[in-house]
């Protein structure tokens, strides 16, 4: 087994990213109980969840998702010019968001059902620019196969974020401390990436050319036209479902759901992000349809088996375990987590392999599926709620609907690979 790992770049790269991601996730995993017990309430985490979901609705697409194209470029000249073409789009989106926040701040906070958000929306443009630049540098280093750099950047991000949250908690800054901590993590990550870029890749700056930059952006317009709205819809789903739970069950419940996601992400997110980054790099190198199909099915099976581990752990933890440690205000955390872990297991498999659609140049199909996804989860929420007014009923409807969708997407991907034209791969 050890010899196999040594001989496999794919497995070794996943382990490099996994180790960094694991450490980066363990930091918030151990810090979060302290934040919950001593400094922040479920309602505080609820407001943080709403702020993050709304911010990432825009920050996740501010680059036009051109970072995906950076990995696929054959020449470094095109890759660096696409990087800076995407950066220009980020700056434009940041300026526009600043103007919109200035004009519509009251409307946005009231629409989201969180009047307190009004005081923190000025941070949205800052969040957009640092989130986006982190993504751009991540895929630049993916192209360079510098997975250790990506791994260390994740560690810097979470280490900075959780340290600031703790300090802000000691200073009694409330929700602002949670938001500031989240933002500080991205700033720390960008500073780390910039330092490394100037040290290792400063020569690439000599390849910058405005004409080539415009041309590479046009050549990768599929990411702008299809991947961007698809990712936007994917993040809109997070906004919508949080809004549904906020309206029907209150800020405290949204906070508990948000904290549950944080804990569960420590189990699923580490592997999903690590695997998908390396998987995307490998997909770009694979030209045979048969090889793509074998790779996809093999990893889908392995990831499905792996997904059962966090599910089993969550169901083995006693129901009152969290309440006994953190207090009665968190008594609903374990029942909520046990429902959430079901759909997250399906998400884990599907999202880890989702780059297959970009490899097959099926960005447009992704857009249609995300529209379907939004309809499915809203329907699931209301179907579940029709059985009972309890939050567990609505959450089960929502979770089952998402599971069905993710399994459907995996089946669609297999069918697309089988029907792919060898000449376009």
pLDDT of residue 6: 43
pLDDT of residue 5: 38
pLDDT of residue 397: 94
If one counts every other C-beta atom within 10 angstroms of the C-beta of residue 140, the result is 25
Q: Is the pTM of this model over 0.85?
A: no
Alpha-helix runs per DSSP H in 220-362: 221-222, 228-249, 251-285, 289-316, 321-326, 333-352, 356-359
Please return the burial class of 300, using the count of CB atoms within 10 Å of its CB with bins 0-12, 13-18 and 19+: middle
pLDDT of residue 424: 58
pLDDT at 3 over 50: no
> For 231-267, what is each residue's pLDDT tens digit?
888 888 888 888 888 888 888 888 888 888 877 876 6
402-417 CB burial, b ≥16 within 10 A, e <16: bbebbebbbebbeebb
> For 344-388, what is each residue's pLDDT tens digit?
888 888 877 777 777 777 767 777 888 888 899 999 999 999 998
Alpha-carbon gap, residue 276 to 290, rounded angstroms: 20
Alpha-carbon gap, residue 221 to 236, rounded angstroms: 22
pLDDT at 284 over 70: no
Model confidence at 279, pLDDT cuts 50, 70, 90, reads: low
Domain boundaries, the chain: 2-424
Find the mean pLDDT for residues 395-421. 89
pLDDT at 276 over 50: yes
Let me know: does 154 contact 24? Beta carbons within 8 Å: yes
Alpha-carbon gap, residue 369 to 406, rounded angstroms: 10
With a pLDDT cut of 90, the percent of the chain lying above it is 24
pLDDT of residue 29: 74
Question: Where do we find the tokens 């095109």?
Answer: 78
Model confidence at 2, pLDDT cuts 50, 70, 90, reads: very low
| Cα distance from N-terminal residue to C-terminal residue, the chain | 32
Alpha-carbon gap, residue 34 to 28, rounded angstroms: 10
> For 96-155, what is each residue's pLDDT tens digit?
988 888 888 777 777 766 777 788 888 889 999 999 999 999 999 888 888 788 888 988
Q: Which residues contact 198 (CB under 8 A, 6 or more apart)?
A: none
For residue 19, what are the CA distances in angstroms to 24, 25, 116, 121, 140?
A: 9, 10, 38, 34, 20
Let me know: does 64 contact 189? Beta carbons within 8 Å: no
Find the mean pLDDT for residues 398-422. 87
Alpha-carbon gap, residue 54 to 108, rounded angstroms: 10
Residue 327 CA, chain-centre distance (Å), reads 30
Angle at 323 between CA 317 and CA 324, to 5 degrees: 85
> For 158-196, what is each residue's pLDDT tens digit?
899 999 999 999 998 888 999 999 999 999 999 999 999
Residue-by-residue DSSP string for 215-255: HHHHHTHHIIIIIHHHHHHHHHHHHHHHHHHHHHH-HHHHH
Residue 352 CA, chain-centre distance (Å), reads 11
With a pLDDT cut of 70, the percent of the chain lying above it is 87
> For 37-92, what is each residue's pLDDT tens digit?
888 888 888 888 888 888 888 898 899 888 888 888 888 899 999 999 999 999 99
Alpha-carbon gap, residue 190 to 416, rounded angstroms: 37
Alpha-carbon gap, residue 322 to 330, rounded angstroms: 7
């Amino acid at each position: 087994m050890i010899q196999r790992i040594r001989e496999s770049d794919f497995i070794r790269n996943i382990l490099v990213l996994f180790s960094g991601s694991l450490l980066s996730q363990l930091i918030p995993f151990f810090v979060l109980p302290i934040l919950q017990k001593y400094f922040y309430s479920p309602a505080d985490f609820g407001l943080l969840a709403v702020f993050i979901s709304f911010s990432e609705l825009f920050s996740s697409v501010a680059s036009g998702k051109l970072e995906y194209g950076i990995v696929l470029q054959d020449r470094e000249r095109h890759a660096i010019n696409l990087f800076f073409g995407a950066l220009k789009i980020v700056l434009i989106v940041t300026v526009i968001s600043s103007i919109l926040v200035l004009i519509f701040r009251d409307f946005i906070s009231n629409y989201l059902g969180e009047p307190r958000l009004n005081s923190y929306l000025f941070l949205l443009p800052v969040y957009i620019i640092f989130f986006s630049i982190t993504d751009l540098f991540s895929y630049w280093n993916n192209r360079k196969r510098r997975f250790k750099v990506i791994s260390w950047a994740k560690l810097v991000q979470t280490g900075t974020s959780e340290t600031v949250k703790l300090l802000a908690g000691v200073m009694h800054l409330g929700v602002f401390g949670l938001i500031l901590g989240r933002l500080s993590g991205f700033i720390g990550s960008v500073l780390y990436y910039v330092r490394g870029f100037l040290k290792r890749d400063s020569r690439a700056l000599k390849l910058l050319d405005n004409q080539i930059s415009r041309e590479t952006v046009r050549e990768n317009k599929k990411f702008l036209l299809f991947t961007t709205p698809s990712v936007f819809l994917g993040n809109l789903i997070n906004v919508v479902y949080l809004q549904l739970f906020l309206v029907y069950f209150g800020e405290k419940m949204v906070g508990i759901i948000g904290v549950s996601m944080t804990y569960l992400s420590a189990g699923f997110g580490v592997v999903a992000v690590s695997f998908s980054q390396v998987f995307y790099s490998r997909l770009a190198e694979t030209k045979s349809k048969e090889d793509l199909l074998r790779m996809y099915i093999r990893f889908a099976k392995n990831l499905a088996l792996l997904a059962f581990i966090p599910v089993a752990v969550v169901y083995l933890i006693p129901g009152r375990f969290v309440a006994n440690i953190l207090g009665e205000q968190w008594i609903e955390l374990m029942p909520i987590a046990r429902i959430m872990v079901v759909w997250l297991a399906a998400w884990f498999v599907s999202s880890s392999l989702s780059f297959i659609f970009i490899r097959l140049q099926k960005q447009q199909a992704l857009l249609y599926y995300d529209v379907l996804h939004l309809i499915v989860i809203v329907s699931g929420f209301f179907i579940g709620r029709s059985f009972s007014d309890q939050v567990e009923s609505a959450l089960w409807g929502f979770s089952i609907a998402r599971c069905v969708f993710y399994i459907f997407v995996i089946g669609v991907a297999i069918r697309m690979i089988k029907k792919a034209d060898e000449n376009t791969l």
